[in-house]
Amino acid sequence: MKRSKIPALLVSIALLLSASASGAAVVADHSGREHYFPAPPRRVVSLIPAVTEIICEIGASGALVGVTYNDFGFEGTAGKAIAGGASSPRFDAVSALSPDLLIVSPEHHDLALGASGGNYPVFVMGNEVSLREAKDRTRKIGEIFARGAEAEDVIRRSDSLIETIRLKVEKIPRGARKKAVFLSLGPEGLLVPGDSSFRSEMIRLAGGVTGSFGEGRFVPVTPEHLSSFDPDFIFTNSSEYGEVMKLLEGDGWKDLRALRGGRLYSFPEAITGRAAAHVGYFAAWLSSEIYADEFADAEALVHPREILGERVISLDIPYVRRARIVEIVMMDFVGRTLLVDFKRPQHIVSTAFGERDGVTAVGNSYAPVPTWSVFHRLSFEKWQEDLFEILGLDPGKTDVMLTGADMNNASVKTASFRDMTVTAIVTGGVEGNSLRTSKDAGAWYEPGTINILVMTNHRLSEQAATRAVITATEAKTAALWDMDIRSAQNRAMYPATGTGTDTVIIVSGEGVSLNWSGGHSKMGELIADAVYRGVQEALLKQNGKARARNPIERLEERGIYLRDFGKFQAGVEEILLSPRYKNARGFLESAFSLSDAHVMGQISDTGAFEAWALGIAGDISGRQVERIEDLYGAAGVPAVLDAALDAICTGLKLRED
């Protein structure tokens, strides 16, 4: 037995020596098997969302050819083939992609090996449940893709945020620390994370106090047990927020301190439970919400306000002296501000500050997520005062927009015709407060989520400059509608027209004066073209949203999740992913548009659609269908879309009978 192990040991040593000499890598997977990578893989399918996230963060997304439908929103995954879900991978789809590496979780290892037939390597990545293990996984991904330095940078950024939070919370007396709990939905009620689980670790990293509920990934919780802990702060996944709220409104729950104080928050599911690249980001965000009042106190600051560096942006505009993105520390966190300095004072129109002459610089400033709750407790004016002081700007000669979209995701677009040129610099994010004007409620005051800076080379008259705001806004709305961006308040019902906190700055140029910038004018056409393309690219960079998206993603954007289909979940997933059911998939995609038209009153007779629904149910079931059953039936779904989902479920039910 001992002798039989020697050749294997020699092989391992030889591989390590060879890898060291050539720059290749030998990486052991979760099962202990060593994989030799003479060069980084070029056709990778990742079936673990946390791994996909890390691959994107280290700049290796170009190697991805297949991901899961749980990976929507990662920068670099748009347009990639969907190989099922994280818990329900489709290995036929994996094999069709001819990968040179498949990354799977331990529970799918045997199935993956069987499906591969030895045609491609299967790398098993563990289900990491701690910060330490997340770092180990990040380093392994860095080794595989020969991006060790980039992997260490991801870890460094995360550690830096966690250390900042530690220093800030250290200033809070232990007796004043707040109790926090994460709630999720289970088959029979509410669940909380186990005491040693990743989510509980995240609460402690954020400076919160955790309760004692037992061990396990999730454990059931009773009103009595939660009441005895009586948390100051409750948070949940965004997709479960409504259902959790309904349960907490029942007897036994509603007297919790967190609910009495309105301290129930939601966070994106993509970060609440993934031990991946954004651990520090989530810890900082969570901490800033738990201790929003404490962090708003100047005494809570632990880092000096300072400029860290800048990156030059090349703009071919005659009156621009320089353009740059300046990285700063503000309220203890790193933000980035786009600044465009002019050679001479310019005339601008700003939806934040009105029409102004003598402006020497304009910009757009990204406030990182952990500062949002702080600025909500201070004021926009306080934010601007601090920003201008750090950057050395004159408030009387500068106009800067505020946004939660990162300047690293800004889109710069230029449109030209003969001697006319327009440049638009756009940032955008639509995950939190997109809305449909005339339908949704207004509750916010601070400016800036889709921010648009338009610079023309021709001088615009006062009327042309103000009219350009309308042209840019119309182009923004057209971009959102063409991408099917939904209202955050009424996701199933309405497409969004904006975010409700958008800002536009129009900078007039120095060329020949123009009096027109509406859609019929050539200047208006150029403004619209640059803004339209800029908005769509900015949303791709910031939110990972491409124009063409899988129907599963578009359902989720309407608040409809596969889990909502109950016993039909696996069948619906198959229909929306399998080439065999392309007609049913096209039917659902058409239903998205027909549903919006019906809600808006553009169509009233849906008879033809109902006949189509019967045909689709028949295609799925393999038999003639006389009646569509009410099987989906969730509240708040428009009639046409609800009928489409019922048709798919009816077909699945009859297929199984």
Question: 102-126 pLDDT, tens per residue?
Answer: 999 999 999 999 999 999 999 999 8
Mean per-residue pLDDT of the chain? 91
Q: Looking at domain 306-543, which CATH architecture does it have?
A: 4-Layer Sandwich (3.60)
Give the residue, 410 or 375, on which the prediction is more confident.
Answer: 410
The DSSP code sequence of 350-363 is: ETTTEEEEEEEEEE
Total-model pTM:
0.91
For 2-38, b where at least 16 C-beta lie within 10 A, e where not — what string? eeeeeeeeeeeeebeeebeeeebbbbebbeeeebbbe
Q: Quote the tokens at residue 525.
A: 């056409």
27-146: what fold? Rossmann fold (3.40.50)
Per-residue model confidence as pLDDT tens digits over 519-535: 999 999 999 999 999 99
Confidence of residue 439 (pLDDT cuts 50, 70, 90): low
* pLDDT over 50 at 399, yes or no: yes
Give the CA diameter of the chain: 90
- At 507, is the secondary structure helix, strand, or coil? strand
Residues contacting residue 623 through CB under 8 Å, at least 6 positions apart: 654
Report which residue type is found at 290.
I
Report which residue type is found at 204.
R
Confidence of residue 23 (pLDDT cuts 50, 70, 90): low
Mean pLDDT of 8-30: 62
Mean pLDDT of 320-343: 96
Confidence of residue 438 (pLDDT cuts 50, 70, 90): confident
Cα end-to-end distance, the chain, whole Å: 55
* pLDDT over 50 at 363, yes or no: yes
pLDDT of residue 441: 58
HSE-CB of 373 using CA atoms within 13 angstroms: 17
Q: What is the 3-state secondary structure (H, E, C) of 366-427?
A: ECCHHHHHHHHHCCHHHHHHHHHHHHCCCHHHEEEEEECCCHHHCEEEEEEECCEEEEEEEE
The DSSP code for 580 is: G
* pLDDT over 60 at 204, yes or no: yes
Per-residue model confidence as pLDDT tens digits over 244-253: 988 898 877 8
pLDDT of residue 447: 37
Range of lowest pLDDT (258-262, 380-384, 485-489, 514-518): 380-384
Count of CB atoms situated within 10 Å of the CB of 417: 12
Could you tell me what percent of the chain has a pLDDT over 70? 95
CATH class of the domain comprising 174-300: alpha beta
Supply the Cα-derived Rg of the chain in whole angstroms: 27
* pLDDT over 50 at 503, yes or no: yes
Same fold: 27-146 with 174-300: yes
Range of lowest pLDDT (168-172, 445-449, 456-460): 445-449
pLDDT of residue 7: 52
Mean pLDDT of 359-363: 96
For 339-356, b where at least 16 C-beta lie within 10 A, e where not — what string? bbebeeebbbbbbbbeeb
Q: Rounded CA gap, 336 and 33, in Å?
A: 43
Mean pLDDT of 542-556: 92
pLDDT of residue 435: 73
pLDDT of residue 233: 96
HSE-CB of 180 using CA atoms within 13 angstroms: 29
Could you tell me what percent of the chain has a pLDDT over 90? 76
Confidence of residue 443 (pLDDT cuts 50, 70, 90): very low
Give the residue, 127 or 582, on which the prediction is more confident.
Answer: 582
Q: Rounded CA gap, 294 and 298, in Å?
A: 9
* pLDDT over 80 at 18, yes or no: no
* pLDDT over 60 at 442, yes or no: no
pLDDT of residue 635: 82
* pLDDT over 90 at 505, yes or no: yes
* pLDDT over 60 at 309, yes or no: yes
Q: Rounded CA gap, 273 and 127, in Å?
A: 11
HSE-CB of 77 using CA atoms within 13 angstroms: 31
Count of CB atoms situated within 10 Å of the CB of 59: 13
Q: Is the dihedral of CA 597, 598, 604, 605 positive or negative?
A: positive
Q: What is the dihedral of CA 484, 486, 490, 494, to 10 degrees?
A: -30
Give the residue, 635 or 447, on which the prediction is more confident.
Answer: 635
Per-residue model confidence as pLDDT tens digits over 54-113: 999 999 999 999 999 988 877 788 889 999 999 999 999 999 999 999 999 999 999 999
Taking the domains of the chain in order of start, what are their residue ranges?
27-146, 174-300, 306-543, 560-656
